[in-house]
Structure 1
């Protein structure tokens, strides 16, 4: 049997992805952006990250150049590992909320609320650091693709850190079911993040100094 025949008979394919922005190597972010922009109409992308800080390229791809439906899961401020930290680090949860609220405004301004939904992971006593992507074809229940690795789909991952990830494409129903169950366990603890969420008394506006830091140093996060 030839190598091509063995490949054709397989039901799962694994592709390694690497990112090292400081050296100008952007394989992972290019593949991620391609995924956003080529996703089929009616397909669903679940995107999870503990530190939601998407690059402008990702934002443009998701809001303007993608036909997929998105379900984004991120950390609630109480699930952020920097909650209660001393000094400037204590403002990091508010900084990520600020980024998320600005992204939400762009979604609303573009009238994409029905296609792009956001949620926050929240469980008492827990912090949230899970990250990943799951892609489901139109009309299907089980995902056929997932990204597993270190990137948070944000500025720091794209521009500053060495990140490694694997893309898994599968038609194996048992693996697809496992991917679905993994995703559902995470999303079961997500609460909707909307304009109404930000208007609640317990969601205070970020201090001015947080606005300044996120404006000028957003690429550090």
Structure 2
């Protein structure tokens, strides 16, 4: 039976997080959850229009439609207006270069040409190299690994999301978005992290060419993999760990709300995010509830093993119906991706049935006419409590490629503030509002043999 208790304090139960994750106390009233793609876009425009000192963007790519052009023009206007405005943009090199004449790179050239204070970084995974890099065509080379973080900074405000910067994410692709205002320490941490990833990435010149930071000894794909990966790991892990030590050695958690940033950088052997998520899944108390959402369902083996054999919590898993999969309108081999995910969800549900876990693990499908589903994250409701005491939001899809391929970052927002807990609850309910109980229809699922073969060999790339 759920109860509502104003005196319930949960932060002390998560002191263990401080030992492995930086923590930033924030004011609960400065946290705003956005509800729709249009509100996400309007917030980006408003934040850009009122900026005074810095804009920092990390995304997979930026589209080239009218809304994206207006966003970039807004940034350019602010660069022209404020000579000292600092602009840093981090994208994925392959995804950001897709389309030679009309790409994220060409869209951003006016910013670089208008100010010396604007820098554009293009991350190239070190895993794409040699003959594979030469053989894989545009678009398919992105399977090997991406810059996948979605972080949007304006002065001392930070917007964390799973959404990219393109028209569908501004109109009819449902995602999650949380704006945290006036949190300079947290924003400084992310700005520094993005600058550091930028240091190991290519820099875009005003002539639309790519070059490396002169301080880097090794090249992402021309140098030996281990040489580049070791250099990058040393820089990134030292930065992340230095923030753990700095905060844990001094400041005590006096706020009722704390933000913990997580990172997952598989090419460099950094698995902080997945280790924390696995620990949460394993130690969530019996009769508590974990709500997990992902637009692309492909839980890695470590999560499945933990859910089936170690976790005692009730689990509600939300994923996209094939018609709400963002690849539903794709052409060529990519058009079969929704079918591949249907196979993965069906296989997972068969395992749930095999272990007789239907009462503890329930699956839901998101389907809304004309919409695709890209939301991901966790909401945790303790035993005998009504509201989520924390949510996790960010770029990770909780899939195998998040643990094996892409650069990811999420934040845990842990709170004893009941007003914020109720806001998390409303967001969770909104996410499940267009969902129905998953009922596999294996008889109607026609799967070409080649898809089953591809999944068997390349499951970690989905």
Counterpart for residue 362 of structure 2:
117
Check if 1:180 corresponds to 2:421. no
Q: Deviations over 1:75-126 (max 9, x none)?
A: 0000001113211101100101100111111111001010000011000000
**Counterparts of residues 125-204 of structure 1 (less than 5 Å):** 125-194=370-439, 197-199=440-442, 203-204=444-445
Q: Which runs of 5+ in 2 are unaligned?
A: 1-247
C-alpha deviation, 1:6, in angstroms: 7.3
C-alpha deviation, 1:210, in angstroms: 1.2
Q: Deviations over 1:139-192 (max 9, x none)?
A: 211000111100000111111000011011111011101100001001011111
**Counterparts of residues 1-221 of structure 1 (less than 5 Å):** 7-194=252-439, 197-199=440-442, 203-221=444-462
Q: What CA distance in whole angstroms lies between the structure 2 residues aligned with 1:88 and 1:5? A: 54
Q: Aligned with 1:47: secondary structure?
A: strand
TM-score (norm 2): 0.45
Q: Aligned with 1:90: secondary structure?
A: helix
Q: How many residues matched?
A: 215
Q: What CA distance in whole angstroms lies between the structure 2 residues aligned with 1:159 and 1:119? A: 26
Q: Aligned with 1:31: secondary structure?
A: helix
Q: What CA distance in whole angstroms lies between the structure 2 residues aligned with 1:218 and 1:73? A: 20
Q: Aligned with 2:346: secondary structure?
A: helix
Indicate the structure (1 or 2) with the bigger Cα radius of gyration.
2
| RMSD (CA atoms) | 1.7
Counterpart for residue 12 of structure 2:
none
Relative contact order: is structure 1 or structure 2 higher (C-alpha 8 Å, sep ≥ 6)? 1
Runs of 4+ off more than 4 Å: 3-6
Q: Aligned with 2:372: secondary structure?
A: coil
Q: Aligned with 2:350: secondary structure?
A: helix
C-alpha deviation, 1:5, in angstroms: 10
Q: What CA distance in whole angstroms lies between the structure 1 residues aligned with 2:264 and 2:280? A: 16
Q: Aligned with 1:25: secondary structure?
A: coil
Q: Which runs of 5+ in 1 are unaligned?
A: none
